[in-house]
Amino acid sequence: MAKRISKNLAGLMILVSLSAMADDYPHAFPREGTQQLFDNERVTAWRVDWLRDVQQPIHRHRYDMAGVYLRYGPIRVTSPEGVVSPQRPAFDVPRPYFQKKDITHREEMIGFAADAPQRLAIMFDLKEVSVPPVSPPSGMPTAFPREDAIKAIDNERVIEWDYTWKTGRIVPTHIHDRDSVQVFYQGGTIRFTTTDGKSETKNFEFGDARFIPRGTVETEEAIEGSPRAVTIELK
């Protein structure tokens, strides 16, 4: 009996030790090659560049994460136990993305020349805050769905939409019923007009990211270029 208790105690100590080790892993961000873009009560936004032959430390994603890959590049993903994940095939960009929290690994950019563009993404740590959508005024549509918008992801945390504005086509008055983040893949200029007639023109470039608070009411019109962005609505 004493031996069995001792054996069980040893097993428990190993589990506790492994749990402590996991808690000691740093969060995925910040790290070399990352830049914080903004931070608020809903999200922390990061620009993430995977640098060739820079082996990141083992880290644990402590938050659910949504984002957009803007450039492809092969990376090596290794578990804390040293197991290397199979290399996934190349993907088209922009690529909307979602990942559950508690993933633990390290990543290393491989395969490209040192001076070649590296894999790039804008990632959002989703904070543990759930906010219900606002109710639209009678007869007013929500920002999404809208004509030509492609729904890429819909789960318990986010809805992600891929949309390209066409020059001169006005997106009628709508309300952003959910807090949202937006990542631009193609740049351009958009005019936003509120219900009181005030207009604001904004220029966007590749990789720009912004936060749109729920309750925002506006029309949109691309006046230069064909901006393309992934909009992530937060649940």
Residue corresponding to tokens 């590296």: 118
User: 180 with 126: CB under 8 angstroms?
Assistant: no
In 3-state terms, what secondary structure has residue 9?
Answer: helix
Q: Residue 84: count other Cβ atoms within 10 Å of its Cβ.
A: 11
**Domain architecture of the chain: domains with CATH:** 22-126 (2.60.120.10), 150-234 (2.60.120.10)
Q: What is the pLDDT along the chain (235 residues), one digit of tens a residue?
A: 544 444 444 444 444 444 444 458 999 999 999 999 999 999 999 999 998 878 788 999 999 999 999 999 899 999 999 999 998 899 999 999 999 999 999 999 887 766 677 899 999 999 999 899 999 999 999 999 999 999 999 999 999 999 999 999 999 999 999 999 999 999 999 999 999 999 999 999 999 999 999 999 999 999 999 999 999 999 9
Give which of 128, 121, 124 is closest to 156, Cα–Cα: 128
pLDDT of 122 reads: 98
Burial state string for 118-153 with b = 16 or more CB within 10 A and e = fewer than 16: bbbbbbbbbeeeeeebbebeeeeeebbeeeeeeebb
C-alpha dihedral sign at 162, 167, 170, 176? positive
Full-model pTM? 0.88
* One-letter amino acid for residue 218 of the chain: E
**What's the CA gap between 159 and 136, in Å, rounded?**
18
Give which of 209, 212, 172, 166 is closest to 190, Cα–Cα: 166
pLDDT of 173 reads: 98
The 10s digit of each residue's pLDDT in 158-201 is: 999 999 999 999 999 999 999 999 999 999 999 999 999 999 99
pLDDT of 114 reads: 67
**What's the CA gap between 195 and 25, in Å, rounded?**
49
List phi, psi (to 5°) of 175: -120, 135
pLDDT of 14 reads: 43
**What's the CA gap between 199 and 58, in Å, rounded?**
47
**Strand-pair partners of 231:** 161, 182
